[in-house]
Structure 1
């Protein structure tokens, strides 16, 4: 018996089966990675540019303060507040501060809104020092200079300008919002374009699938549409496979018909000889048994070989009408047993199989159930996922304990054993031809139950 399919690894179950889904997923990952990397790069570049603009602005303010430098009455270098070019340095509520430090780190001049801060690091003469201050969240620009007074006494000074970073952060936040909004809009737009491109690019595959479905339904015999160069070898191969399979089935059936016709006459002649009363009774009996056995074996093997099995692109068979014909015939055959049949089959249900094979398979199961049951037979056919499930149950004595072993031993043992095994052997061969599974068990009606699982 064939084992039921196992459960695959987790990654196999999670892997998308649709080609369109795979392409969309891959495109989404690539687009997302591209936009995220591009967004961070642009954000970083804008931040560097904004900081450079902040540095240039503070340098300009320092230069304006240098232009306002002059000696005080005590000889110290100072800045006259009235001559400060930037009006913000004259306002107590301004976010811009400035101060002039001597070489001892003492502020000899400060703007009106300057707050006491730790003594800054004094840059060398002629050097600039731009830095960010955590407290009070501001940018600072310092410049070192040397002042030589009239007494030719050089002194070092440092000009420092501090501006609150809130405007810089607000500018950066506004840019970040605008950047990621447009990135999201562009990403969704490109993804939509990708969907349209995939729809257009995969349209030949959808057309091919539609043609294959029409072939399965018997609406056309082969693939006829024109396809791109990449798919043309596939369509030509499919047409060749379909035609070869049909020709092969025809050859098989013709050969089997010829074989049956060739054997019919010799067997009839031998059968006639057994009816010769001049022949000794014991010989006539022995010869008659052998001829009958030959006829049974030949008939069985011909039916077995004629089973079409799973056929590529076969037209699905409407099951309920086929089962109703079988039931109508069996009701007459087993009228003496008052046989009753229950059919649990959706009228729209179709199975992908040959109608002759289904007639043989279901017919044997119903015949066995009616023959060895006690008058009640129930047939159920339905789908469980991608598996077709056929169940026949009766209210008879059920199967013997060695029923499973009997099937596994092969057809010859089934043919020689009287009882249900004869019909089940033919059913088992058909099930194997369809790569299915046959299970024997007990039914809830009190008798035997045969379950057949077929792919599709």
Structure 2
């Protein structure tokens, strides 16, 4: 169930959500309203049909008389509706006695089923399937004044449904055409309203993109009251971030300047002739190590870290610059770098952080690999996977220990053992992680997994 829910597509557009939800409600309302109108019109047509047939039955009873045998008969010439006198008109009448036997009909060829048993003074209105017609029946008691013998009769009138069905079809077609046109007009109006209502959000998005691209320093537009707290807080965050970074970098610059003189003094002392050569070598080595660590810590502390309002950096040109420089450094070994990154691949991060991150990884790969270094990437579930592969001896057992500061895979190579640890810190600052594994080239693979945001 969780996997199914995870694969379910989600609507990420606010406009699409509003439009779809409103359209569903509108269609449901119009559909239910149309059905209600259709049913109401159908009931009114049925009532009109029943009223028409009732009037005809009253007219038939007004034209009724008694035969010499005492049976009831009806004079058609006295009926005002001439359709009863036309065989193919679809309107016919019949008279049934209490035994259900037809004793009179308006047409000699009339084949009408006997009506249901009803009491005197009651009405029965029904729609017949065969023939396709409406039938109205009325129960009555007829008293012959000469014989004084009451007799029970049922008078029935049938009328075909052609006129009824035709009116219903015309009404339905007209109703749904007008309702469909109304829905289309309302959806068009809704689109215009949504476009007008969401225009400030779209304009705010464009301004944020300009801030990310460095084209403007803050959000400058005028927005509705509901968005003013958001724009105010965004501007405050932008100003705070910029001022914080400026103060941080200035403080680090002062620190670097203050450490420069003591280190220069120590390096000068190490070259004094009265100091033995062995101690000079140790002192010079330690001063160089201190200088390297200080330089690294200053660069690491000045790293921007994860910042939302920064322009995404193209990775392929950045990697190309690094590999071009490293190819010259390791020219004697003939190390080849193969950049397989998509030219359009971007990552939202500080450019200095990316130079240090991939500079360390590529330098380690060239230092510990043999001839082939490959850089590739793919995206999976909002995560960017960047793999740096080499064809060297690979990582030792428990490679995770190499992420600890000072740990080194090969002590024969020069270095301070802080390269992978520094890379891990940079990646973690952006909410990512490092994975150390065996490379398909036979050596080591360092996988950088970063959120694409």
Q: With structure 1 as the length reference, what TM-score do the two structures score? A: 0.88
List aligned pairs for 1:29-178, cutoff 5 A: 29-112=24-107, 113-125=109-121, 127-151=122-146, 152-178=148-174
Q: Give yes or no for contact 1:123–1:158 (8 Å, CA) kept in 2.
A: no
Higher RCO (CA 8 Å, separation ≥ 6 residues):
1
Of 185-194 and 226-235, more deviation after overlay is shown by: 185-194
Q: Relative to 1, partners in 2 of residues 1:414 and 1:18: Cα closer, same or farther, differing over 3 Å?
A: farther
Q: Give yes or no for contact 2:402–2:421 (8 Å, CA) kept in 1.
A: no
Q: Which residue of 1 aligns with 2:405?
A: 411
Q: Relative to 1, partners in 2 of residues 1:296 and 1:60: Cα closer, same or farther, differing over 3 Å?
A: same
How far does residue 386 in structure 1 lie from its aligned partner after superposition?
Answer: 4.3
Q: Give yes or no for contact 2:94–2:156 (8 Å, CA) kept in 1.
A: yes
Of 304-313 and 262-271, more deviation after overlay is shown by: 262-271
Task: Kindly tell me the number of residue pairs found equivalent between the two proteins.
Answer: 447
Q: Give yes or no for contact 1:415–1:422 (8 Å, CA) kept in 2.
A: no
Q: Which residue of 1 aligns with 2:224?
A: 228
How far does residue 291 in structure 1 lie from its aligned partner after superposition?
Answer: 4.5
Of 357-366 and 261-270, more deviation after overlay is shown by: 261-270
Runs of 4+ aligned residues of structure 1 deviating over 6 Å after TM superposition are 280-286, 415-418
How far does residue 349 in structure 1 lie from its aligned partner after superposition?
Answer: 4.1
RMSD of equivalent CA atoms = 2.9
List aligned pairs for 1:299-448, cutoff 5 A: 299-380=295-376, 386-407=382-403, 410-413=404-407, 422-448=418-444
Q: Give yes or no for contact 2:91–2:160 (8 Å, CA) kept in 1.
A: yes
Q: Give yes or no for contact 1:388–1:454 (8 Å, CA) kept in 2.
A: yes
How far does residue 30 in structure 1 lie from its aligned partner after superposition?
Answer: 0.2
Whole-angstrom CA distance in 2 between matches of 1:8 and 1:199: 35
How far does residue 353 in structure 1 lie from its aligned partner after superposition?
Answer: 1.4
Aligned to 1:411, what secondary structure does the other structure show?
A: coil
Whole-angstrom CA distance in 2 between matches of 1:379 and 1:298: 30
Whole-angstrom CA distance in 2 between matches of 1:148 and 1:271: 141
Whole-angstrom CA distance in 2 between matches of 1:415 and 1:219: 45
Q: Which residue of 2 aligns with 1:210?
A: 206
Match of 2:5 among 10, 19, 22: 10
Q: With structure 2 as the length reference, what TM-score do the two structures score? A: 0.88
Q: Give yes or no for contact 1:65–1:85 (8 Å, CA) kept in 2.
A: no
How far does residue 398 in structure 1 lie from its aligned partner after superposition?
Answer: 1.9
List aligned pairs for 1:173-188, cutoff 5 A: 173-188=169-184
Whole-angstrom CA distance in 1 between matches of 2:6 and 2:334: 55
Of 224-233 and 326-335, more deviation after overlay is shown by: 326-335
Q: Give yes or no for contact 2:395–2:409 (8 Å, CA) kept in 1.
A: no
**1:320-376 residue CA offsets vs partner (Å, 9 max, x unmatched):** 443333233223322322333223344454332111111111111121122222233
Q: Relative to 1, partners in 2 of residues 1:441 and 1:95: Cα closer, same or farther, differing over 3 Å?
A: same
**1:270-306 residue CA offsets vs partner (Å, 9 max, x unmatched):** 4444445556778767666655554444333323222
Match of 2:243 among 247, 251, 258: 247
Q: Give yes or no for contact 1:415–1:425 (8 Å, CA) kept in 2.
A: no
Whole-angstrom CA distance in 2 between matches of 1:72 and 1:212: 100
Aligned to 1:229, what secondary structure does the other structure show?
A: coil
Is 2:18 aligned against 1:23?
Answer: yes
